[in-house]
Amino acid sequence: MPKIRIVSLVPSLTELVCALGLRPWLVGRTGFCIHPADLAEVPKVGGTKDVRLDRVRALAPTHVLVNVDENRLDTVQALRAFVPEVLVTHPCAPEDNLALFAQFAQAFGEVPGVADRAEALAQALRAELDATPPGRHPPEPVWVPIWREPWMTVARDTYIARLLARLDWHTLPDVEGGPTGAARYPAHAADAPWLAQVRRVLLPSEPYRFGPEHLAEVQSLCPQARVHLVEGEWLSWYGPRAAQALRVLRALRESP
């Protein structure tokens, strides 16, 4: 068997590792890496933002998987001092998953079946991208709160916003956050003027766990909007979920 030892610091990438048949080589994960369900025996190394470097070092990984948005730059820099391969990912649109699949196929292609599984994921995603071209629906302004107290949302150059843009859902406020940093997920006031323009609100189950108890509050902030509770994983998890996320969101967009 190849001498590969993988530590994943990103939930989406942990799921991708397993989808590619690399579960036997996964030796570490964060506490937020909960998919697939059979990860209980894989040691935890902290969270995405508070990685326990001592635990990672003890696992002697050959590869550590990180993400620009989800992990801290100082963590990545520290990892490079003792990890042979730190794979940095930064998908900012659903089509970027095609490059992600290719990146993993190249990194782990020595494991039989990985390249074929990566290509199967790519083919499934290409089909969904073809079925979800922008411009099929009238543009609709959307608010996606990702936190409460303070309210936070997504800039238009994030993965979530660009995923929704394929469905002609355009996130408000109309700002870009840049390649890295907090501006990608701006905080805003509950009485921000642009909230009056919102016609659809998608309340995700993560990172803040929005639920039925928040519907009335959100509706009061956007009285002209339809408000939906949605699984946060369909909005923000990339990798093997990307194709199904497009199907699920397309069905929601086309519902009466």
Q: What is the pLDDT of residues 55-102, one digit of tens each?
A: 999 999 999 999 999 999 999 999 999 999 999 999 999 999 999 999
Q: What are residue 230's phi and psi, to 5 degrees? A: -135, 155
CA dihedral 74, 77, 81, 83 (to 10 degrees): 110
User: Average pLDDT for residues 140-151, to the nearest whole number?
Assistant: 98
Structure tokens at 47: 């969270």
Task: State the chain's mean pLDDT as an integer.
Answer: 97
DSSP secondary structure code for residue 6 in this structure: E
Q: pLDDT tens digits, residue range 225-255?
A: 999 999 999 999 999 999 999 999 999 999 9
> In the structure, what pLDDT confidence band is assigned to residue 1 with cuts at 50, 70 and 90?
low
Please determine, for residue 103, whether its predicted confidence score (pLDDT) is greater than 90.
yes
Read off the pTM: 0.95
The rounded distance, in Å, linking the Cα atoms of 234 and 255 is 17
- Confidence (pLDDT) at 68: 96
Q: Are 175 and 145 in contact (CB under 8 A)?
A: no
Tell how far CA 217 is from the center of its chain. Answer: 26
Q: What are residue 45's phi and psi, to 5 degrees? A: -125, 30
Structure tokens at 37: 């369900």
Burial of 243 by CB count in 10 Å (0-12 exposed, 13-18 middle, 19+ buried)? buried
- Confidence (pLDDT) at 148: 97
Q: Are 140 and 171 in contact (CB under 8 A)?
A: no
Tell how far CA 160 is from the center of its chain. Answer: 8
- Residues forming a β-bridge with 44: 29
The rounded distance, in Å, linking the Cα atoms of 231 and 226 is 16
In whole angstroms, how large is the CA radius of gyration of the chain?
A: 19
